[in-house]
Amino acid sequence: MSESSLRLVWVYPDLLSTYGDRGNALVVERRARQRGLNVTRIDVRSDQSVPTSGDIYLIGGGEDRPQRLAAERLRQDTGLVRASENGAIIFSVCAGYQILGHEFINDLGEREPGLGLLDVWSTRGEGARNVGDVLADVDPRLGLPQLTGFENHQGITHLGQGVSPLATVTVGGGNGTGDGTEGAWRDTVFGTYLHGPVMARNPAVADMLIKLALDVNALPPADTTWYDALRAERIAASRQPA
């Protein structure tokens, strides 16, 4: 990327933007601009091809049928896979997270191939849906504070050897595997079940993506007063027994 610009690609807002996913794009964009970066945001609709020259790719949550359509179109398009091969940063949420894996269960109850960018596969839980606030401790190698968010999913995501859990839940269901893991990551590809949206509740995640894109260890400070107040409130609330 050029020194002062950032290309932010939001993948398929027409299909995968059900749970306020636009918030992740807005927060990354805002925090990059606050650091003086020139941000180009590219919203790619599912009848357009995914550009391979982006720095950060966001892919969000969606309903079951749009999720299948998105997987079909992304497999056919190959832009996201090629971008990933070039080392692009990809952050995925919920349905988007499942699509990045090897396979998931689609709206027809069938196994639907994903993109295989994360070594995970998803099945459908038999029990109650995981709905509610989540609190999770992030993989210490990422140097991030506690994650707070809101989950709403029936899926269970199993992690293979090629990824690490993004976090370990202290409240909430996370991957739904019963071992307390939440999300997955490897290199510059991330997946999580948290929306809320996750960047609004965890601006440090947005900052991490920007740092990865710029290949720097630190960014100039940007105010987090309201984010901090919201975090404190949600963290306290999620610790209250329901």
Partner 1 sequence: MAGTETEATGARDGSLPARAKIAVTAGRVAAAVSRKAGRGSGSVIGGKIALRLDPDLLATLADHLDVILVSATNGKTTTTRLIAEALRAAGPVVSNALGANMPAGITSALAGGSDARFGVIEVDEKYLAGVARDTRPKAIALLNLSRDQLDRAAETRMMAEKWREGLKDSEAVIIANADDPLVTWAASSCKKVVWVAAGQAWKEDAWSCPACGGVMQRPGDDWFCQDCGFRRPNPHWALQGTHVVDPQRGAWPIQLQLPGRANLANATSSAAVAAVFGVAPQVALERMQAVTAVAGRYDVVQYQGRDIRLLLAKNPAGWLETFSLIDGPPTPVILSVNAMDADGTDTSWLWDVDYERLSGHPVFVMGQRKLDLAVRLEVAGLQFHVVDSLEQAVRMAPPGRIEAIANYTAFQQLRKVVAG
Residues that bind partner 1 in the complex, under the rule CB under 8 A: 14-15, 17-23, 26-27, 30, 45-47, 63-66, 68-69, 131-132, 150, 152, 195-197, 200, 226-227, 229-230, 233
Q: Is 94 a catalytic residue?
A: yes
Residue 195 catalytic?
A: yes
Task: Give whichever of 150 and 185 is closer to partner 1, judged by the CB atom.
Answer: 150
Instruction: List phi, psi (to 5°) of 141.
Output: -65, -20
186 is in an annotated binding site: no
Residue 70 or 213: which CB sits closer to partner 1?
A: 70
CB of 164 to partner 1, least distance (A): 26
| Pair 83, 43: CB distance under 8 Å | no
Q: If we measure between CA atoms, which residue out of 197, 200, 171, 169 comes closest to residue 183?
A: 169
Helices (DSSP H) in the chain: which residue ranges?
22-34, 64-77, 79-85, 95-100, 198-201, 203-214, 225-239
Minimum Å gap between C-beta 17 and partner 1 is: 7
Per the CB < 8 A criterion, the answer to whether 174 and 136 are in contact is yes
Nearer residue to partner 1 within complex by CB, 27 or 117: 27
Least Å from the CB of residue 186 to partner 1: 26
What is the Cα–Cα distance from 24 to 18, expressed in whole angstroms? 12
Catalytic residue numbers, as ranges: 94, 195
List, as residue ranges, the binding site for substrate.
129
